[in-house]
Amino acid sequence: MYIVTGGAGFIGSAFVWKLNEMGIDDIMVVDNLSTTEKWKNLLGRRFDDYLHKDAFLETLLEDGLPPGIQAVVHMGACSSTTEVNADYLMGNNYHYTMSLCHYCLEKNIRFINASSAATYGDGSKGFSDDDAGMRSLRPLNMYGYSKHLFDLWASRHGLLNIIASLKFFNVFGPNEYHKGDMKSVVCKAYHQIKETGKMRLFKSYRPDYPDGGQKRDFVYIKDCVEVLWWLLQNPEINGVFNLGTGTARTWNELAKAVFKAMEVPENIEYMDMPESLRDKYQYFTQAEMEKLAQAGCPVEFTDLEVAVRDYVTGYLAQDDPYL
């Protein structure tokens, strides 16, 4: 059995799709469906069981999980960068992950964790996933700090040679539709352009970046699940790894790719950034990918324009936009 926490969420449900594609359906999905439309990500997916995240943790702590678990792919977390309840994030993102990691180590179960590029803060400390520089990082929000704390804990206890933790950069692609304000700009742009014929981007508040010139490392969900699958097949590969493309692109380039994929004339409007975000905004992210490559990962990352076209034409423009 394979357990995927956050299995109805964006990355988690995409990985369930990948497991199904590889002929695997002995899967337990762990999540919190609540009143969201995450359940739609599971339509057409094959899995044995679903457990609410609280029931799963209780069962785990009581040692009541079934035998024969091959791996836990822990994608479950509150991923909102604007969440202000620090106690909630400490419990849901940090302590929950610690408990799950402890269990996997005791039972000799492969453990793959979702960290985040939000751990890098404003990027002034660089974007190296080398263990040595981990303690110098200063996340800009509580979400990033909750992810950073687990990586620090794993490093402090010498666990990074037996577990894998992935720092996801700006992931986009099908199955993110339930994420509200946390949806990718590609997804938001498609609907904006379809409704208004234009796309809105934040203005820049730094003289070294023009409006729309802020840069991100955008990575396609299909590439992310290929990396997860490779790690599942290679349990000897462990540590903290960046998961981006290694190439930063501007929001303007992203916007142009969406307009081109939709075959609509470019029309970009720049809007004021909320004051609450201005001192927490990342102007540049770019994953250093040498560590993953040196570990032998064979995944070739999709060019931004190709990935955007696949997402727009193959999913967003379809009646059924799910994987």
Cα distances from 224 to residues 19, 63, 165, in angstroms, run 13, 31, 13
Q: In the structure, what pLDDT confidence band is assigned to residue 278 with cuts at 50, 70 and 90?
A: confident
Give the H/E segment covering residue 306. Answer: helix 304-311
Q: What is the pLDDT of residue 104?
A: 98
pLDDT of residue 81: 82
- Burial (Cβ within 10 Å: 0-12, 13-18, ≥19) of residue 245: buried
Mean local confidence (pLDDT), 92-98:
96
In this structure, what DSSP letter does residue 284 have?
B
Please say if the pLDDT value at position 258 is more than 90.
Answer: yes
pLDDT-derived band of residue 84, with 50, 70 and 90 as boundaries? Answer: confident
What is the pLDDT averaged over residues 98-116? 98
Instruction: Give the pLDDT of residue 154.
Output: 97
The pLDDT score that the predictor gives to residue 273 is 95
For residue 288, name the pLDDT band (cuts at 50, 70, 90).
very high
Average pLDDT on 277-288 reads: 90
The token duo for 134 is 């981990």
Amino acid at 227: V
Average pLDDT for 152-162: 97
- Return the CATH number of 2-172+218-246+285-301, one of 2.60.40.1180, 3.30.70.270, 2.40.50.100, 3.40.50.720: 3.40.50.720
Mean predicted lDDT score pLDDT of the chain: 96
Residues serving a catalytic function are 143, 179
User: pLDDT class for 186, splitting at 50, 70, 90?
Assistant: very high
For residue 240, give Cα distances in angstroms to 55, 77, 176, 243, 246. Answer: 29, 17, 24, 10, 16
To which residue do tokens 């609450």 refer?
276
* C-alpha–C-alpha distance, residues 164 and 112, integer Å: 5
Indicate the pTM of the whole model: 0.96
Q: What is the mean pLDDT of residues 211-215?
A: 97
Tokens linked to 322: 């799910």
- Can you say whether the dihedral through the CA atoms of 276, 175, 59, 95 is positive or negative? negative
According to the model, what pLDDT value does residue 254 have?
98
Q: How many CB atoms lie within 10 A of CB 294?
A: 8
Contact status, residue 259 vs residue 210, Cβ threshold 8 Å = no
List CB contacts of 62: < 8 A, sequence separation 6 or more: none
Separation of alpha carbons 202 and 319, rounded Å: 30
